Amino acid sequence: MSNPSIQRGIALPVMLIMLAVMMVSSIYLLKSSTSTTLTTSNLAYDAAMTKAADAGLHAGFTYLRNLAAKPDLLVNQPAAGYVATLTQTWTVINPNFWLGSVTLAADADGNRVEYVIHRMCNLPGPYDSNNNKCQTTAPRPGITGPRALGETLRVDAPNLASAGQIHYVVTARVFGPRGGNVVTQAVIMKGP
């Protein structure tokens, strides 16, 4: 027969080991659920800032759509956030890219939206002048011309039955109240 005094002390260490395993498991679960909550919160914040950036894209689009005098598009319009040229080597991280931009009033969430409109030409002035190179596309379907739909035009290309559409890039960036930022862009095509 076994000695009962030897068996009495084994339950305590086994229970302590089980409690330690349960404590480590609960800490892991708590940390995992906290990480998931933070990730979800950050994704929601990023989505809200992206929606706020749409206000800048909309403001740029509205300016281009409602512009009555097309000669205004030949030169910079700083009050409207319009720049008649775009240097191909500049990206949104280059401070020069944002010269001439407009900042909208902060929205209800504290997001500050800044936007700039660039005409995709290397020089101000008419798109079809000798030294100016602009990104243009053939007219929309239903407008006849000797170019296929979507074919890029060159400055030295033969005359079209109707003018091509010049590309404009509207870029908006948002500075959120918690320090985040989002940049969005839209390409708009408009006749000269």
> Average model confidence (pLDDT) for the chain?
81
User: What element of type H or E holds 75?
Assistant: none
User: Tell me, what's the pLDDT at 172?
Assistant: 94
Residues 6+ apart with CB under 8 A from 139: 145, 160, 162, 163, 164, 165, 191
Sign of CA dihedral 52, 53, 57, 59: positive
What would the mean pLDDT of 64-78 be, rounded to a whole number? 80
pLDDT tier for residue 166 given thresholds of 50, 70 and 90: confident
Show the CA angle centred on residue 83, arms to residues 72 and 121, nearest 5°. 90
More confident residue, 155 or 17: 17
Q: How far is CA 187 from CA 97, 137, 161, in A?
A: 16, 12, 24
- Domain holding 140, by residue range, is 4-190
Q: How far is CA 75 from CA 26, 81, 124, in A?
A: 65, 12, 6
What would the mean pLDDT of 14-27 be, rounded to a whole number? 90
- Quote the number of domains for the chain: 1
